[in-house]
Amino acid sequence: MPTESASCSTARQAKQKRKSHSLSIRRTNSSEQERTGLPRDMLEGQDSKLPSSVRSTLLELFGQIEREFENLYIENLELRREIDTLNERLAAEGQAIDGAELTKGQLKTKASHSTSQLSQKLKTTYKASTSKIVSSFKTTTSRAACQLVKEYIGHRDGIWDVSVARTQPVVLGTASADHTALLWSIETGKCLVKYAGHVGSVNSIKFHPSEQLALTASGDQTAHIWRYAVQLPTPQPVADTSQISGEDEVECSDKDEPDIDGDVSSDCPTIRVPLTSLKSHQGVVIAADWLVGGKQAVTASWDRTANLYDVETSELVHSLTGHDQELTHCCTHPTQRLVVTSSRDTTFRLWDFRDPSIHSVNVFQGHTDTVTSAVFTVGDNVVSGSDDRTVKVWDLKNMRSPIATIRTDSAINRINVCVGQKIIALPHDNRQVRLFDMSGVRLARLPRSSRQGHRRMVCCSAWSEDHPVCNLFTCGFDRQAIGWNINIPALLQEK
């Protein structure tokens, strides 16, 4: 009897387990309507210690989760059916599909042949497109020789702009975010004059075409005209360094940055009061330049306007409006009363003041990002650089499309053109400086290593064509300006 009783007990337990398992399966696979019809205590469990409100909330949440899994499961089944259908269709057309096995030998041969043709076509297309892209970066066989000559170190913050005086004595000017502008001896690298009249970042510096006057634009919403008088020191012999090709480069790290402990401008004459202050803008004055003749000056501001001033009276002559966003640069023609302004609105505008009664404006559209600068060059051409990593050469007589486009791998800052040799110097965000001719052929890349070259973003470039030693200057946010000697072979100049 004990054995029979134990057997009955075991049978009842097995029956209870099967019933519980069956209930679990029904609870998992039942629809919403079926679940609502089940007894509440059966769904909740007999031994639950949770309050009824909490149990109700949990049941609703579990129900929502189950419905989501059901929908995903149904979508997965439909996708599998579509994949099977497509595989069958492609297999019937003789295409090779990963994971599909074609049993017919003829079908396999056809699929292999089709794949081979497709592969060959892709290779041909890729090769042609790659050749076209690479050709725009190729340099000529006789590259320009680039040699670092002098470093001008003394600013305590990044240098936004660099410029070379157009009158004797020829000096170098730099404008910095440290609220100062410095004048340097090109040969010795010694600071000659410090201008400290601004209370904001000095964003640009330009020299008067015939007098010892400098024009600076600042974040304090003004542009200043100030007079300087310098006496050049006796030049010291420049250390002879080997010429380094523009293509040589060694990666450098941030800890290679020079440590500026002293202020080299502390013992040089300081100018604190300008001759003239131009005050009509309601925002940062980002750039300024002299109009031909030097009797008028133009400024560009973040208030979306450019202003034309009379230098003697400081009066506003014209306010140039039309840009939709902040201006980034302005430049004047060396021989004509023409002004070009660039903006973050992806355009640059040409303003014509040659006829006193008519002030025409032409809009150039061709970039897809901020136009960082636009400058005049030989003939009727304008060269524009942009954050869209392109430089475009334009003919003023035909604004519809550029006559040449240079594509690079980094945003381009304030460019400058060597008029005599028709060479464009491109300063980049990625610390590189590249040289191109007007047709878009790359001539050189300036050296950048742990020992020489810029270690931060290069902001600006400026040519000095008549200087016997340094004919190109660059500046950047590594707080230094650099003088380079660029030797262009005669073969390249003819091209």
Q: How confident is the model at residue 178 (pLDDT cuts 50, 70, 90)?
A: very high
Tell me the helix, strand and coil percentages in the chain, rounded to 5: 25, 35, 40
Q: What is the CA radius of gyration of the chain?
A: 36
Phi and psi angles of residue 13, each rounded to the nearest 5 degrees, phi first: -65, -45
- Which residue reads 């939709």 in tokens? 324
The tokens for 79 are: 């996708």
**In this model, does residue 168 exceed pLDDT 80?**
yes
Q: How confident is the model at residue 428 (pLDDT cuts 50, 70, 90)?
A: very high
Q: Is the Cβ–Cβ distance between 148 and 241 less than 8 Å?
A: yes
Mean pLDDT for the stretch of residues 356-367: 86
Q: What is the pLDDT of residue 420?
A: 82
Q: What is the pLDDT of residue 46?
A: 53
Q: How confident is the model at residue 400 (pLDDT cuts 50, 70, 90)?
A: confident
Q: How confident is the model at residue 34 (pLDDT cuts 50, 70, 90)?
A: very low
d(CA 317, CA 298): 10
Domain spans of the chain? Answer: 1-33+56-81, 142-494
Q: What is the pLDDT of residue 236?
A: 55
| Higher pLDDT pick, 254 / 447 | 447
**In this model, does residue 440 exceed pLDDT 70?**
yes
Computed over every residue of the chain, the mean pLDDT equals 80
Phi and psi angles of residue 56, each rounded to the nearest 5 degrees, phi first: -60, -45
> Per residue in 121-156, pLDDT tens?
555 555 544 444 444 444 444 467 899 999 999 999
Exposure b/e, 73-98, CB count within 10 A at least 16 = b: eeeeeeeeeeeeeeeeeebeebbbee
**In this model, does residue 31 exceed pLDDT 50?**
no
**Which CATH number among 1.20.1560.10, 3.30.2090.10, 2.130.10.10, 2.120.10.30 corresponds to the domain 142-494?**
2.130.10.10
d(CA 247, CA 146): 9
Q: What is the pLDDT of residue 489?
A: 74
Of the candidates 35, 34, 29, the residue with the CA atom closest to the CA atom of residue 70: 29
Specify which residues 183 forms β-bridges with: 173, 193
**In this model, does residue 54 exceed pLDDT 60?**
yes
Mean pLDDT for the stretch of residues 30-59: 62
Which pTM does this prediction carry?
0.68
Mean pLDDT for the stretch of residues 201-218: 97
> Per residue in 95-128, pLDDT tens?
444 444 444 444 444 444 445 555 555 555 555 4
Q: What is the pLDDT of residue 235?
A: 57
**In this model, does residue 207 exceed pLDDT 80?**
yes
Query: Is 107 exposed, middle or buried, given 0-12, 13-18 or 19+ CB atoms closer than 10 A?
Result: middle
d(CA 448, CA 431): 8
Q: What is the pLDDT of residue 101?
A: 46
